[in-house]
Structures are given as C-alpha cells and as structure tokens.
C-alpha cells in the first residue's frame, strides 16, 4: 500500500482548493461569448465596423453602466437593422441583451443600463434584414463589480 | 412584482415622418439569481425578461433582457411616426406578471 506523505497530502489539498475557487468564480470566458455570437450569426463571421458603442471608459460602479448603441445603416422597409446582440465577455453569463428593431424604429439605435462584473469587453453584433452582420467591441474598466457574489 | 411603476418620456406632438426619441423606465430589482443571502442560500432569479413597444398595434422595438441589465431597467430608442396614435409598452416579469403603459401622440 502506498503511504500518503505529508507533502502529497498538502498537494492534494491545494489542488482541491484550486478546483473550488474556479467553480466559485464561474465567469464567462471569451470562448463562451464567442459561442453566443456564433449562435446569433449562425456561424457567419460578422464584418467589423458600422457600429458606434457609447460606454464610459472607466465605470466606477459596475451595477449600472450606461450603454448606447447606434448602427450606421438605413432603416427602410426592405433594408433595416433587425437585431442587435450585446455580449459581455467577463460577466458570469455572456448574454446582456438582444434588441429587435423594425423599420418603424426609424433609426438603428438603442440605449440601456447594464451590469458589469469586472474590466471586460462589450461586444455588439448587428444583424440586417438582408442577413448581413456587423460587429464592434469596446473595453470598459470596472472599479466595483455589479453582479453580486 | 406589484411595485413596478413605469415612467415614460414620449413627446405628445410630432410632425409626420419625424423620428421621435422614447424613454422608458420601470421599477424592478432585477435579481440576478447569482447573489446569496446572509445564510449563504442563493436568492432566486427574478427579472423583467422581455420589453416591447408597439405603435397602433405594430411592433416598433423590443428587447430580450438578461440578468446583466441593471435594476430599474431603462430603455431609450426611436420611432418614426407617420400618423397619430398610441404607443403601448409592455414589460414581462419572470413570474409571468405583465406591466403595461400607454402614451398617445398627435402627428400633424
């Protein structure tokens, strides 16, 4: 029988602690937010550009961060921005909001207030009625996280 | 949630074809389902998960909300008005409660 040495016991304990710590944090990884975007675009790679994201550079309070999005695209009856997906790659879950617009919107714009856990990227993907995808991202530095623990 | 009190900012008049800015806010805790109370038990999620805006019965704008939307969800968006009518706003809670509000607009 193999005896468990003191060193080995300590190692096991440390390993268990690491696993626990990772389990506790449960932060969305960039891979998860990429998966969320792929689900939205149906695997298509969105083109960069056309989107203006208005977010503070530094958010002191992650509980409420103003976000404003404008897509530089016409809103006519047969050519308009139909959906805008917002994803945060450092939140416990990547999804933030999915806006649906119509030609009655007049302008491809939306604003709300969001929660951010830590310094992370906000990724916006817009879908047009013609099936085109545009994307842009912006990093926000967060002083106090707003997702609770 | 019974304490949802919608606040609207909708212009009462506009010119035909004008793009008007609409602002809405509803009181709601937007409990994420990730927080724990003092005894360590997880506080169950309760959020507004859907918001819609219609004009004369036609969809203008809607949003699927995740827990990452801040408490008292606020939205600002636009609508192009071609005729007089009524904006109808709807908020749907996780528990099925539906809150609605209306605002008329006169288009000349």
Q: pTM value?
A: 0.85
What's residue A7's pLDDT? 65
Q: Is residue A19 part of a domain?
A: no
Q: Which of chain A's residues have a Cβ under 8 Å away from the Cβ of B75?
A: 110-112
Interstrand relation of A109-114 and A120-128 (parallel, antiparallel or unpaired): unpaired
Q: Does B48 touch chain A (CB under 8 A)?
A: no
Whether the CB-CB separation of A103 and A80 falls below 8 Å is answered with: yes
Closest CA of chain B from A8, distance in Å: 32
Query: DSSP assignment, residue B6?
Result: -
* Domain count along chain B: 1
ipTM surpasses cut 0.90: yes
Question: Does residue B35 belong to any structural domain of this protein?
Answer: yes
Could you read off the pLDDT of B1-54 as tens digits, one per residue? 545 689 999 999 999 999 999 999 999 999 999 998 899 999 999 999 999 999
Where in the sequence is the domain holding B90, given as residue range(s)?
Answer: 7-107
Distance from CA of A69 to the nearest CA of B (A): 10
CA A4 to chain centre: 45
Domain tally, chain A: 1
Q: How far is A120 from chain B (nearest CA, A)?
A: 13
Per-residue pLDDT at A17 exceeds 90: no
Assigned domain for A17 exists: no
Q: How far apart are CA B82 and CA A142, in angstroms?
A: 42
Which residues on A lie below 8 Å from B73 (Cβ)?
112-113
Contacts of A27 in chain B (CB under 8 A): none
Any idea what the CATH number is for the domain that residue A113 is in?
Answer: 2.60.40.2470
Model pLDDT for residues B42-90, shown as the tens digit of each residue: 999 999 999 999 999 999 999 999 999 999 999 999 999 999 999 999 9
CATH of the domain at B26: 2.60.40.10
Domain of A33, in residue numbers: 27-144
- Residues in chain B with CB shorter than 8 Å from the CB of A64 are 70-71
């Amino acid at each position: 029988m193999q005896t468990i040495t003191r060193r080995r016991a300590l190692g096991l304990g440390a390993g268990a602690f690491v696993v626990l710590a990772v389990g506790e944090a449960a932060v969305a990884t960039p891979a998860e937010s990429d998966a969320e975007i792929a689900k939205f675009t149906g695997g298509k790679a969105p083109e960069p550009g056309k989107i203006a994201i208005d977010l503070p550079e530094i958010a002191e309070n992650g509980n409420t961060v103003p976000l404003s999005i404008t897509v530089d695209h016409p809103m006519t009856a047969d050519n308009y921005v139909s959906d805008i997906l917002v994803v945060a790659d450092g939140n416990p879950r990547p999804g933030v909001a999915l806006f649906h617009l119509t030609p009655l919107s007049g302008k491809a714009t939306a604003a709300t207030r969001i929660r951010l856990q830590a310094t992370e990227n906000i990724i916006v993907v817009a879908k047009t009625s013609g099936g085109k995808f545009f994307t842009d991202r912006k990093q926000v530095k967060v002083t106090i996280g707003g997702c609770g623990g | 949630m019974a304490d949802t009190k919608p606040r609207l900012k909708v212009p009462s008049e506009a010119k035909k074809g004008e793009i008007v800015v609409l602002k809405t806010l509803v009181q709601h805790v937007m409990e994420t389902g990730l927080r724990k109370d003092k005894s360590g038990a997880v506080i169950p999620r309760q959020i507004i998960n859907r918001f819609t805006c219609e004009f004369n019965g036609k969809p203008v704008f809607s949003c699927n909300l995740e827990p990452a939307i801040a408490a008292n969800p606020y939205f600002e968006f636009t609508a192009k008005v071609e005729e007089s009518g009524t904006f109808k706003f709807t908020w749907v809670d996780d528990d099925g409660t539906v809150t609605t509000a209306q605002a008329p607009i006169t288009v000349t």
